[in-house]
Amino acid sequence: MINKNALISKFPKADIQLEGVDSRLIQAGEQQFIFMEFDNDVEVPPHSHNAQWGVVLEGEMEITISGKVHLLKKGDSYFIEKDEVHSAKIKAGYKDLTLFDQADRYREV
């Protein structure tokens, strides 16, 4: 049996400019899936882009979407509309799988 870390690590790293983040890029046609695992607490400043959907696999994240704060934990999901301003405070140990409605949101490292 393949362990989940070995399965995920087969995908190329994504070029995400956040310290302490292991990210893997899964290209899916006109969209991208990103698996992210955070070793450090991270604050992501306000920004916007194409639509984004994510599911929390482990840990906690406080995400602010259009001024409304949401505390997300394991099993929670979120959706961000295209061009909707959002930011996040992510705790060490957080893991998620995020789908971006954009083929070129991130590049391979």
Digit-coded pLDDT (tens) for 32-78: 999 999 999 999 999 999 999 999 999 999 999 999 999 999 999 99
pTM for this model (two decimals): 0.91
The angle formed by the CA atoms of residues 30, 36 and 42, to the nearest 5 degrees, is 120
Question: Is 70 exceeded by the pLDDT of residue 18?
Answer: yes
* Domain count of the fold of the chain: 1
Inside any domain, residue 108: no
1 burial type by CB count under 10 A (0-12 exposed, 13-18 middle, 19+ buried) = exposed
Inside any domain, residue 39: yes
Write the single-letter amino acid at 7. Answer: L
Domain range for 18:
4-100
Q: What is the CATH number of the domain that holds 19?
A: 2.60.120.10
Question: Is 90 exceeded by the pLDDT of residue 5?
Answer: no
Inside any domain, residue 107: no
Question: Is 80 exceeded by the pLDDT of residue 2?
Answer: no
